[in-house]
Amino acid sequence: MCCFQRRSNLVKLNCSRYEEIKKVVTDTIEDANIRQYPYDVFEVARNLDIILVSYQSLSEKKKKACFSKSEDAFSILVDFGNHAEWHIYYNEDIGHCRVRFTIMHEIGHIMLDHEDGNEVEESEANFFSKHILAPPCIMHEVGVEDYVDIVNKFDVSPTMAIYQIDYYDKWLQYGGDYYTEYEKRILKLYQNEQSISA
Ligand SMILES: [Zn+2]
């Protein structure tokens, strides 16, 4: 059984690790069939066979136990003997954008095979969540101009959008239009969807 708690942190990861996480983000986008932005994070969890349980749906006793683990969310691998299932328990009262971020953060822990929720793993899950909610290549494709654009087009909080516009500026500086192999895969799903709905 594993559980993770979200903490604010500023651990800096090395470049090659960022690249690995971006590839896992891409695999997750494909596995969950994410074709448009913003998307429903609950549907993403369903597509990945992850069960979501809100604290508020539980008995008072269980709810209290959840809050003692984390104010936001945590993940548990439930073993049924012949198969195992990931369950994410989350607090639905933390606000729409924070719920979206938190669920993708927990999915990040699961996809990155995290084990104990140390500070490095927390940083990685935060990076995963930001990257999968608003991938730079999609920001480029939809033509974001400022952080408000990111809030509106990706359904994220202003705090995250300010971080992502900064990240997007750096992304433009270090490559931009020269898409990587994994960015092409993200764009392919998105563009196919656009051409179907056009
Ligand atoms: Zn975490």
CB-based contact 121:114 (threshold 8 Å): yes
The Å distance, Cα 109 to ligand 1 centre, comes to: 7
CA of 88 to the centre of ligand 1 (A): 11
Question: Does residue 46 lie in a domain region?
Answer: yes
- Number of structural domains (the chain) is 1
Residue 10, in any domain of the structure = no
In this prediction, residue 177 carries a pLDDT of 73
Give the Å distance between the CA of 196 and the centre of ligand 1: 36
Residue 2 lies in a domain: no
- Centroid of ligand 1 to alpha carbon of 191 (angstroms): 31
Tokens in use for 94?
A: 């933390």
Is 151 a member of any domain? yes
pLDDT of residue 9: 52
pLDDT value at position 1? 34
pTM > 0.85: yes or no: yes
CA of 176 to the centre of ligand 1 (A): 30
Q: How far is the CA of 197 from the centre of ligand 1 (A)?
A: 36
pLDDT of amino acid 5: 47
Q: Give the confidence band of 117 by pLDDT, cuts at 50, 70, 90.
A: confident
How many Å lie between the centroid of ligand 1 and the Cα of residue 113? 12
CA 129–ligand 1 middle distance (angstroms): 10
Distance from the alpha carbon of residue 194 to the mean position of ligand 1, in angstroms: 33
What's the CA-to-centroid distance between 84 and ligand 1, angstroms? 20
* Structure confidence at residue 175 (pLDDT): 78
Q: How confident is the model at residue 43 (pLDDT cuts 50, 70, 90)?
A: very high
The overall average pLDDT reported for the chain is: 92
Assess if residue 98 is contained within a domain: yes
Distance 157 CA to ligand 1 centre (A): 18
Residue 2 clears pLDDT 50, i.e. is over it: no
Asked whether residue 109 carries a pLDDT value surpassing 80, the answer given is yes
Instruction: Compute the distance from residue 117 Cα to the ligand 1 centre, in Å.
Output: 6
Question: Cβ(143)–Cβ(28) under 8 Å?
Answer: no
Phi, psi of 78 (to 5 degrees): -95, 125
Task: Report yes or no on 66 lying in a domain.
Answer: yes
Q: How much distance in Å is there from the Cα of 171 to the middle of ligand 1?
A: 25
5 occurs within a structural domain: no
78: alpha, beta or left? (left if phi > 0; alpha if psi -120 to 50): beta
CA of 7 to the centre of ligand 1 (A): 7
Give the residue numbers spanning the domain of 140.
15-197
Cβ-Cβ contacts under 8 Å for 113 (sequence gap 6 or more): none
CA angle 151, 70, 30 (to 5 degrees): 50
143-164 pLDDT, tens digit each: 999 999 999 999 999 999 999 9
